[in-house]
């Protein structure tokens, strides 16, 4: 079982992993029995403090027990790897065995929700290794720095621009074609991943999974760390995905999986404050209406009926949840107070 040790946390600080947070006592030392998967360790000096975090991956069957060590830096209010935090003083780290009894067990009751929120991030872990142990906080830039494609090809006449803004099929193709680059260009890790990552991504299933992994990680970092740049990225990706019409049936697997990603995200929004009069993210209503309408049209156009049967359950669940949380109906035309999001602006 893996162990995450954190030293130096003041009493009253908050430490969390994934979808659970503890208020620390003076002896609190970390989390034990951490299962395999992608994880986000996060902390703050208190409820009003700047929230910081670090992503890490744990293999299904590690060759030896994994012990991760961090130390709270009070000056920067962040978590640092233990070797960096001690300033190279050479002070020996406390023995893991002595601290394990002071660690909380991993919160199993939240594990399924977390895995639902990070399923594609876990499946694509070999392509996301560059994200491991990055220092993140509420004010960080989005991890995925590659710009989103414009809504239309360069040089389009006005009539074509309007068509592309209504149907983001071209922009989706660009997102998928370059999805491998979005995850690797910043750190120049092409040598690790291989030359195939530099070329245009021709593997549809792989590029779709990478795109959904980015959607998932942008969301969990936005909600858990209260990071506005990641929230903007999440909404920007949805702006392209929810407004696809022509290519929807040809990318049916992507859109079935998109609905399966969105449902736990909306549930997560409700548990993070949406049911206590917190407004929904600006533009989300308009995007969900577009997604509902485009999926409904595609289901009617699919003569086999397979697409409609695949999306019926998650689409109805999204409609019901949006109605319960915010009083929205998605099976109607967008009205004047359904705010818009436009990645071209």
**Spatial separation of the C-alpha atoms in residues 125 and 186, rounded to whole Å:** 17
pLDDT-based confidence at 62, cuts 50/70/90?
confident
pLDDT-based confidence at 190, cuts 50/70/90?
very low
Instruction: Indicate the average pLDDT of the chain.
Output: 84
| Residue 289 vs residues 87, 96, 279, 304: alpha-carbon distances, Å | 53, 51, 17, 24
pLDDT in tens, 268-286: 987 754 334 467 888 999 9
3-state secondary structure of 146: coil
pLDDT at 23 over 80: yes
* pLDDT (mean) for 293-297: 94
3-state secondary structure of 55: strand
pLDDT in tens, 238-272: 999 999 999 999 999 999 999 999 999 999 987 75
pLDDT at 88 over 70: no
pLDDT in tens, 32-43: 999 999 999 999
Encoding tokens for residue 113?
A: 């929700």
Encoding tokens for residue 209?
A: 């999974």
Give the H/E segment covering residue 173.
helix 169-177
pTM of the model: 0.87
Which region, left, alpha or beta, applies to residue 30 given φ > 0 means left and ψ of -120 to 50 means alpha? Answer: left
- Is 2-110 CATH 3.40.50.300? no
- Pinpoint the residues of the chain covered by CATH 2.60.34.20: 2-110
pLDDT at 205 over 60: yes
């Amino acid at each position: 079982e893996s162990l995450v040790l954190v030293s130096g946390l003041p009493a009253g600080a908050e430490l969390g992993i994934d979808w659970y947070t503890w208020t620390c006592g003076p002896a609190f030392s970390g989390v034990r029995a951490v299962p395999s998967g992608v994880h986000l360790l996060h902390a703050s000096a208190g409820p009003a403090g700047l929230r910081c975090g670090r992503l890490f991956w744990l293999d299904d069957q590690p060759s030896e027990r994994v012990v991760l060590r961090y130390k709270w830096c009070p000056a920067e209010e962040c978590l640092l790897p233990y070797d960096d935090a001690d300033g190279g003083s050479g002070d020996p780290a406390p023995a893991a065995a002595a601290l394990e009894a002071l660690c909380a067990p991993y919160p199993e009751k939240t594990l399924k929700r977390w895995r639902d929120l990070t399923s594609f991030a876990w499946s694509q872990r070999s392509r996301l290794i560059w994200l491991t142990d990055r220092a993140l906080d509420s004010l960080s830039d989005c991890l995925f720095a590659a710009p989103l494609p414009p809504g239309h090809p360069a040089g389009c006449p006005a009539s074509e621009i309007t068509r592309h803004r209504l149907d983001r099929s071209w922009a989706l193709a660009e997102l998928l074609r370059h999805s491998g680059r979005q995850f690797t260009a910043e750190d120049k890790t092409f040598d690790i991943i291989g030359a195939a990552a530099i070329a245009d991504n021709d593997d549809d299933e792989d590029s779709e999974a990478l795109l959904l992994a980015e959607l998932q990680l942008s969301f969990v970092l936005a909600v858990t760390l209260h990071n506005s740049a990641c929230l903007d990225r999440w909404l920007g990706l949805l702006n392209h995905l929810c407004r696809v019409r022509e290519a929807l049936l040809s990318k049916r697997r992507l859109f079935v999986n998109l609905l399966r990603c969105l449902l736990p995200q909306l549930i997560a929004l409700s548990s993070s404050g949406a049911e206590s009069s917190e407004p929904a993210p600006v533009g989300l209503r308009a995007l969900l209406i577009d997604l509902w309408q485009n999926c409904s049209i595609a289901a009617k156009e699919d003569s086999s009926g397979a697409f409609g049967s695949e999306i019926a359950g998650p689409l109805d669940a999204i409609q019901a949840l949006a109605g319960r949380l915010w009083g929205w109906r998605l099976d109607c035309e967008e009205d004047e107070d359904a705010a818009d999001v436009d990645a071209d602006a």
